[in-house]
Amino acid sequence: MCSTAFDTFTYPTLNTFIHDSICAIATRAGGALSVIRVSGANAVAYTDRIFQSASGKRLAESKANTLHYGTLHTLADASGAREAIDDVVVSLWRAPHSYTGDDVVEISCHGSQYIAQNIIQALIACGCRQAEPGEYTMRAYLNGKMDLSQAEAVADLIAANNKASHDLAVSQLKGHFSSELQRLRQQLLKLTSLLELELDFSDHEDLEFADRSEINDLSTEIFEKLRTLCESFKTGQALKQGIPVAIVGKTNVGKSTLLNQLLNEDKAIVSDIDGTTRDIIDGMASINGVTFRFVDTAGIRTTDDAIEKIGIERAYEQIAKAAIVVWMIDGKPTQADRDDMARRTEGKPLIVVHNKADLSAETFVDNEVAISAKRNENIQLLKEKIMEAANIPEIDENTIMVTNMRHFEALHKAMTDLQRVIDGLASGLPSDLLAEDLRLCLEDLADITGGQITSQETLNNIFQHFCIGK
């Protein structure tokens, strides 16, 4: 059940958190089936109080990784009476071999919201409490079932809306990113240990356990790897949120028609009247498993209309924000127009689109494509040009790419600390100062995976944005 209504929620202390038994609806409302997840030391005992197996066997007496069919009832009242809620299938996992690392029970019932809520109420009456957003995944992290970056990948996997973002989330969930960080940390730890060993024998001035040239080479190698990871963040973010593509051009050139063709829906109003589009209209579409966010802008022209002028200024802003610019023309632009567009799109791909190609006999160069937006001609060719301009590396479930702002910030801090080490080596900085900067770099990398004591504030910030039941 995807809800993050408790944005101000502060998780209990870790000891309380670990020992609570929690329950929540883990599936989206409206399906044929609902799944209620129960986790905690008393998960099995609480479920046994309201579940009657068709075999007569209690869950507490059952083996792990088994399914049980039966009837779920309300908790018995003072007279001993209870009411049947639904026929269900119960899945049983035992600690530590479960998603959370605790005993886990999952109750599969009919998809009625009424039934699901009654089961939740019955479990709460037994002693469970309603799970807060991300509590199951947070518990998995606290129980050592996954590190912090893998826990964050769970939320990314749920939110993935295209193949590229899905594959990146799966890669992170499998631990590829964590493994790479661990490798880098092991290399840094070796250097730190050697430098600290020198400090232990500081009375012997002639002793040098750590070769300075080796430290410099390895520090430089790690620095470049961190730089590569940081540089991947821009692409990673774009893949998660949609690569922004601005469609610009003069009025009545066919921008809105093109947007509708790319989105395969009539989202923008199409009219022969100049200045019809006065504000930003956007939509998402997938090309080869990558999501692009197409933005239709106001027609660029000289006008005295105050509202239209605002729209034109916003069009220029979208050019600045876009990763790719599609410039639509229906004639031969002046050299001044070409120079102006080249200036505004400097440093980013510019695709020149000649619309109404069915009415033209012109020939075009490599960065230009002829289409007919109205007749849906060569739209697929334009999509291929856009995909080519995006320059997305081949992505699969083994690809390592940074997609999380928290990870990017930690990596950037690590680069800063490591740069001080490199500069310190060049200037002959003492071993104790070099060791301190290396320790700081190690802590920065550990922040990503939670390999050191992670603050309660950080955990709250990460998990409060999860879905309830996840």
Least confident of 10-14, 19-23, 31-35: 10-14
DSSP of 277-290, one letter per residue?
--S-EEEEEEETTE
Q: Please say whether the beta carbons of 424 and 435 come within 8 A.
A: no
How high is the pLDDT of residue 373? 81
Least confident of 36-40, 74-78, 130-134, 222-226: 74-78
103-144 tens-digit pLDDT: 999 999 999 999 999 999 999 999 999 998 888 998 998 888
Domain definitions of the chain by residue range: 14-146, 169-238+399-452, 245-390
Looking at the predicted structure, is the pLDDT value of residue 233 above 60?
Answer: yes
How high is the pLDDT of residue 199? 63
User: What's the whole-number mean pLDDT along residues 137-157?
Assistant: 89
- For the chain, the average pLDDT equals 82
Higher pLDDT pick, 461 / 252? 252
189-209 tens-digit pLDDT: 877 777 776 665 555 555 555
Q: Which long-range contacts (CB under 8 A, 24 or more apart) does 225-228 make?
A: 225/184, 226/184, 226/411, 226/414, 226/415, 226/418, 227/415
* Alpha helices in 242-277, H assignment, sequence order: 255-263
Higher pLDDT pick, 290 / 78? 290
Pick the CATH number of 14-146 from 3.30.1360.120, 3.50.7.10, 3.40.50.12500, 3.40.50.300: 3.30.1360.120
DSSP of 93-123, one letter per residue?
E-TTSSSSSS-EEEEEEES-HHHHHHHHHHH
408-463 tens-digit pLDDT: 999 999 999 999 999 998 998 887 888 888 889 988 988 888 765 455 656 666 67
Cβ-count burial of 371 within 10 angstroms (0-12 exposed, 13-18 middle, 19+ buried)? buried
Q: Which CATH architecture has domain 245-390?
A: 3-Layer(aba) Sandwich (3.40)
User: Rounded to the nearest 10 degrees, what angle do helices 431-449 and 176-200 cross at?
Assistant: 160
How high is the pLDDT of residue 452? 58
Measure the N-to-C terminal CA separation of the chain; round to a whole number of Å: 8
Q: Please say whether the beta carbons of 10 and 463 come within 8 A.
A: no
Looking at the predicted structure, is the pLDDT value of residue 48 above 70?
Answer: yes
Dist. CA 89–CA 72, nearest whole Å: 9
Half-sphere exposure of 15 (CA within 13 A, CB side): 0
What is the pLDDT confidence band of residue 273, given thresholds at 50, 70 and 90? very low
Q: Are strands 129-130 and 243-249 parallel, antiparallel or unpaired?
A: unpaired
Residues 6+ apart with CB under 8 A from 155: 134, 137, 465, 466, 467, 470
How high is the pLDDT of residue 4? 41
Looking at the predicted structure, is the pLDDT value of residue 363 above 70?
Answer: no
Share of the chain above pLDDT 70, in %: 81
Dist. CA 379–CA 96, nearest whole Å: 53
How high is the pLDDT of residue 89? 97
What is the pLDDT confidence band of residue 13, given thresholds at 50, 70 and 90? very low
Higher pLDDT pick, 240 / 71? 71
**Dihedral sign for Cα atoms in the order 466, 165, 27, 62:** negative
Local structure of residue 263 (DSSP, 8 states): H
User: Could you tell me which CATH class the domain 169-238+399-452 is placed in?
Assistant: mainly alpha
